[in-house]
Structure 1
Amino acid sequence: MRSLLKKFILTYPFIYSIIFMANAQDYQISLLTCDPGDQLYSAFGHSAIRVLDKENNQDIVFNYGTFDFNTPFFYVKFTQRTLDYMLSVSTYERFLYEYNYFNRNVREQVLDLNPEQARQLVQFLQVNYLPENRFYRYDFFYDNCATRIRDVFETILGKNLDWNEEPSPEQKTFRNLIDEYVYPLPWADFGIDLALGAVIDVDAKEREKQFLPDYMEAAFARAQIVGDGPTRPLVKSNHVVLEFPERTSQMDFFNPYVMWWLFAIGTIILTFFGFKKKRLFKGFDIAFFTVLGLLGLLIVLLWFFTFHSQTKSNWNILWAFPGHLVLAFALIRESIKPWVKKYLLFALVLANVALVFWIFGVQSLHPSIIPLILVILLRTNFLYYNWERFKPLPKA
């Protein structure tokens, strides 16, 4: 009973404020845009809607970017894209507390809505916050905390909203847009490029760029309200709510660019030493192709066994191929089977095709995989031509 009472007390101010707003008329509606944070989950920034009820001094933030960590099988659902995000409500003061704590800038765009438009927007958010409506199936590109807000305003304003898009905007693919934000996180950048397929290597339309809060902020700044009296800008005024000194990001030495090239150089030295000593060092190949095979399995799982649309047509599978696991097991044996040499040739061809796909723009691959592909080419060649000439290492 106490826990229920405590939960009600914590929730009560939000419920009270939302109900009280139903009868209010003097609303100030704002778009809040928050700068990216240092972690991957916050690397792309955030957007929220602020509703200030001037008559009753209620200041509420509607936030489409929240989820419940206590959801059963949370990480499984997150990986499969079966995790539901939800609309949450907090006070403006509480919303800013987190961004102040993490030193993240927050900007506000006060919107020039007429009283009826503001009232309809608040009513829409109230209905959307009902328990049966507040959850939605999150999609990073097409249905996230930013696009939900865009869709709300398109629903309320309808034909009165003119995005006033630039006639000749800079062409950027979805991958280009992501790279702008994850560049300071090189391992995250590598992981994203490994997991996402060729479907994101298409140019994003201006409206589609609004999945990123910064781009939506810029779109709101250009937008106009038409057919409702004289044409006027959607944004009436801009305010910097929180501002902190600019943080300089320095790439750590331990990053995929450096590490994979060091790995490739070490492999070249190992192969040269093996050639001179007439040794295969196949233990290295067993470990290497096992890792590649496991990465290939991950790509297959993301491609065929999840609901993520962005992980389809992922041609990283040409170099990180799940069949490499079979090769690794075959290399454990002292005597080579005839099909193993054929598979080595097949793996070599796949790696070359991956480079061709990259060069001709079928899919943009992460630059740091060049040394990994070179290692595949080197070791498959070395094993193919020298297996019968060099005596394999004896088992320990």
Structure 2
Amino acid sequence: MRSHLKKLFIIYPFIYSFIFLANAQEYQISLLTCDPGDQLYSAFGHSAIRVLDRVNNQDLVFNYGTFDFNTPFFYVKFTQRTLDYMLSVSTYERFLYEYNYYQRNVREQVLDLNPEQARQLVQFLQVNYLPENRFYRYDFFYDNCATRIRDAFESILGKKLDWNEEVNPENKTFRNLIDEYVYPLPWADFGIDLALGAVIDVNAKEREKQFLPDYMEAAFARAIIVGDGPNRPLVKSSHVVLEFPERESAMELFNPYFVWWILALGVMVLTFLGFKKKRLFKGFDIILFSVLGLLGLLIVLLWFFTFHSQTKYNWNILWAFPGHLFLAFALLRNNIKSWVKKYLLFALILANIALIFWIFGWQSFHASIVPLLLVILLRTNFLYYNWEKFKTLEKE
């Protein structure tokens, strides 16, 4: 009997070690980080979770960044933030095929999860992939393909996940973070700055920066797992999966800075000629204030009639004001009403207030609007101080 017990005590550790190693190799969990693409929807990069299931011989990628272009009223829903994104699953091979086709770099961080943590994460993803759970209401800053992954690991690891944040990180606003990625797309950069309000001009916390895949990759590289034996890095190993030559990102000549400054110079010449010839060229002002008024309507729609939290308190409305449409319509008439002169002064004051908001940092505007503000100030001044001449010319 004693000899059998002795053999059992000798064999048991080996049996236990074999079972532990077998379980440890059941799942390998990785974070995949993909570099930005050329289109706006891919300009910020992408994140996904790779699950290598050695028991069932499956190599899958769980992707929270999927949406359906065929959704009815796709662009309306996207604008209103009523478009649902979903969790999709594909093979690792198929996932890489797409990024290889578009020549976008992909990096992998293999995570050092214990068998139970890996199993819980896979179960979490499987439950999320159920038809009733896979859809979610996308939010660019707070609920996207990257933050969903971060939240999944926080849910599974709880207090055992220490992000090990930098003591003195560089302060960056949400707008600063976006600008890092849209600089090669100047018109998209202009449109984003036009559409998003002052709420994104606040410093993002280190955890909040993880809405961008590159920043989440860096956060995973710093993170450690605590309270689960000796402290260990969350990332066990890292390697490059796909790598392509770096692309040049020179800004195109046709960009907001160039276009608006050319416009401003043209308006200066037009105004100078009008002063010399005693003409106001109101046709230009009708077009100018019509465009500004339409932009103002768009800002109002995004501010008050969508579910986007980032489009609130958008002080671009100070220079792109919807009321400018009334001015444009008034200038179309032969008999100009007396209130038009008062409105010109009002528009002039609004443009100056916009500059004050910018100077004091209450909202950061796109730098290319400087010539637009100059155009507004110049034309409102010119029309206001030449009001009597304007009326006389209209009677003639």
* 3-state secondary structure, aligned to 1:170: coil
**Superposition deviation, residue 103 in structure 1:** 0.5
Provide Cα deviations, 1:81-140, integer angstroms capped at 9, x if missing partner: 000000000000000111000100000000000000000000000000000000000000
What CA distance in whole angstroms lies between the structure 1 residues aligned with 2:74 and 2:394?
45
* Equivalent residues in 2 for 1:138-157, closer than 5 Å: 138-157=138-157
How high is the TM-score relative to the length of structure 1?
0.93
What CA distance in whole angstroms lies between the structure 1 residues aligned with 2:331 and 2:370?
24
**Superposition deviation, residue 68 in structure 1:** 1.4
Segments of structure 1 that go 5 or more residues without pairing to the other structure are 1-22
8 Å CA contact 2:292, 2:324 repeated in 1: yes
What CA distance in whole angstroms lies between the structure 2 residues aligned with 1:47 and 1:65?
8
Counterpart of 1:75 in structure 2: which amino acid?
Y
Pairwise CA RMSD: 1.3
Provide Cα deviations, 1:35-68, integer angstroms capped at 9, x if missing partner: 0001100000000000001233210000000011
Q: Could you say which residue in structure 1 is the equivalent of 2:46?
A: 46
Segments of structure 2 that go 5 or more residues without pairing to the other structure are 1-22
* 3-state secondary structure, aligned to 2:141: coil
1:388 aligns with 2:391: no
What CA distance in whole angstroms lies between the structure 1 residues aligned with 2:372 and 2:77?
31
* Equivalent residues in 2 for 1:196-235, closer than 5 Å: 196-235=196-235
Provide Cα deviations, 1:195-245, integer angstroms capped at 9, x if missing partner: 000000000000000000000000000000000000000000001000000
Provide Cα deviations, 1:6-63, integer angstroms capped at 9, x if missing partner: xxxxxxxxxxxxxxxxx99610000000000011000000000000012332100000
The alignment covers a number of residue pairs equal to 373
What CA distance in whole angstroms lies between the structure 1 residues aligned with 2:277 and 2:208?
58
1:376 aligns with 2:376: yes
What CA distance in whole angstroms lies between the structure 1 residues aligned with 2:228 and 2:126?
24
What CA distance in whole angstroms lies between the structure 1 residues aligned with 2:393 and 2:26?
82
Structure 2 CA distance for partners of 1:267 and 1:378, relative to 1, 3 Å: same
Q: Could you say which residue in structure 2 is the equivalent of 1:36?
A: 36
Identity %: 86
* Equivalent residues in 2 for 1:6-85, closer than 5 Å: 26-85=26-85
Q: Could you say which residue in structure 1 is the equivalent of 2:327?
A: 327
Counterpart of 2:81 in structure 1: which amino acid?
R
Counterpart of 2:151 in structure 1: which amino acid?
D
Q: Could you say which residue in structure 1 is the equivalent of 2:182?
A: 182
What CA distance in whole angstroms lies between the structure 2 residues aligned with 1:72 and 1:392?
52
Q: Could you say which residue in structure 1 is the equivalent of 2:192?
A: 192
How high is the TM-score relative to the length of structure 2?
0.93
Counterpart of 1:369 in structure 2: which amino acid?
I
Structure 2 CA distance for partners of 1:328 and 1:126, relative to 1, 3 Å: same
Structure 2 CA distance for partners of 1:185 and 1:235, relative to 1, 3 Å: same
Counterpart of 1:145 in structure 2: which amino acid?
C
What CA distance in whole angstroms lies between the structure 1 residues aligned with 2:110 and 2:296?
48
Structure 1's consecutive aligned runs of 4 or more residues displaced over 2 angstroms after TM superposition are: 390-395
8 Å CA contact 2:285, 2:328 repeated in 1: yes
Provide Cα deviations, 1:281-300, integer angstroms capped at 9, x if missing partner: 00000000000000000000
